[in-house]
Chains A and B, each alone.
Chain A
Amino acid sequence: GDSVTQMEGPVTLSEEAFLTINCTYTATGYPSLFWYVQYPGEGLQLLLKATKADDKGSNKGFEATYRKETTSFHLEKGSVQVSDSAVYFCALMPGGGADGLTFGKGTHLIIQP
């Protein structure tokens, strides 16, 4: 079945550091790929998405590129802030739309001032 693997956390960085959170997937067909974020005390919210190969999703300074050849969707940000501290989830939706989202286990990001 479909699966998503993302790097284990917690990931601790200093403010203004460069961030990469790795995400790889296994799926048949052509899934859509998503990054969701969960800030402390809040619900899951969409950060960015890409729906076909080579698409780049971006939002709030974060970027991720849908790489079909490496089955990856790594999340990057050039300069992180303390307010980026949260849990980040990589997820996929199968091409047919049914079955809902398949999530990775989440990566807890901690940004220190």
Chain B
Amino acid sequence: EAGVAQSPRYKIIEKRQSVAFWCNPISGHATLYWYQQILGQGPKLLIQFQNNGVVDDSQLPKDRFSAERLKGVDSTLKIQPAKLEDSAVYLCASSLSGGSTDTQYFGPGTRLTVL
């Protein structure tokens, strides 16, 4: 079974530029998550989708971050404009139904460096 796919794996941009990340979850998984992991810290949830609807985006900085999951499968996360403090690894995860006992499967992440 294929795992969660993410691209690109690495991205370097200047501050104030825009960037987009792509995620393809495990086939059949209804729930998709985006996390931000700053160096030396645990991942922090940015947004959770159930199919193509947003369940929780309370920690998403909506003035610069946006995310969508059209057709309930792939998802993109965008940052515009980027700030230095956005340098982090962006992780995508998926689970079968989003229940509290479900296992979340993580992709390899996209490492973003903002100069």
Contact = CB atoms under 8 A, between A and B. Distances in A.
Chains A and B are bound partners: yes
A101 B45 contact: yes
A110 interface: no
Given A98-B55, A98-B56, A100-B35, A91 B48 contact: no
Query: Taking each of A95, A100, A102, A106, which has the highest tally of chain B beta carbons within 10 Å of its own beta carbon?
Result: A100
Interface class of chain B by DSSP: loop
Interface string B85-115: 0000001010000111111111111000000
Contacts of B105: 46
Contacts of A98: 48, 55-56, 98
Contacts of B55: 98
Interface of A: 4, 31-32, 34, 36, 42-46, 49, 51, 89, 91, 93-106
